[in-house]
Structure 1
Amino acid sequence: MTKKLKRWTFLDSLNAILFIVVVLFFLDFENNNLMSWILLAVFLFWLVTVVLRNVMISKIEKDPQHPLHNLQTGKETDENVKK
């Protein structure tokens, strides 16, 4: 069974908390330049995936012809009820 896509997940919450900790305590461009840039790149990648996931969900919800539209919007069709 296919599950409804979520805009924000538990893993995203953990990543956000980890990002705050990294920004506050671990970024040090003077002494550890390369590691600081790597950490920023990893969190930027995570942020881009969150934004793109939300864009995808919005497109699914706006397009009634999309196969996941009924599942995402919570609308049940006769075909889905019979299954």
Structure 2
Amino acid sequence: MNNKSLKRWTFLDTINAALLIVVVLFMLDFQNNATVSWILLAVFAFWIVTVILRNIFITRVMKDPNHPMHPQPGEKNNAKD
């Protein structure tokens, strides 16, 4: 089976984290643009939840040797990246 390695943190997550820092420091303005500020917070909250759920899924796959995505002996395991 062609299983890609599961990654806990990706390059896209790094970009999202950098954007979150920029948004929190410079773009949130609840007095003048409350709607935009709430939308930005909701988008980043959704991203954070997906990162957490992805890590929970990866942990379950790594602990269950019968799971189809569990790395087989001899396969390189990059899940700890």
Quick check: TM above 0.5? Answer: yes
- Post-superposition CA distance 1:36-80 (Å, at most 9, x none): 000000000000000000000000000010011125xxx338xxx
Cα distance in structure 2, aligned partners of 1:60 and 1:16: 25
Number of aligned positions between the proteins:
74
Displaced runs of 4+ in structure 1, greater than 3 A? none
1:2-81 superposed matches below 5 A: 2-70=3-71, 75-76=73-74
SS in 2 for 1:70: coil
Q: Which runs of 5+ in 2 are unaligned?
A: 76-81
Alignment root-mean-square deviation, CA: 1.3
Bigger Cα Rg = 1
Q: Which runs of 5+ in 1 are unaligned?
A: 78-83
Q: Which has the higher contact order (CA 8 A, sep 6+)?
A: 2
TM-score (norm 1): 0.84
TM-score (norm 2): 0.86
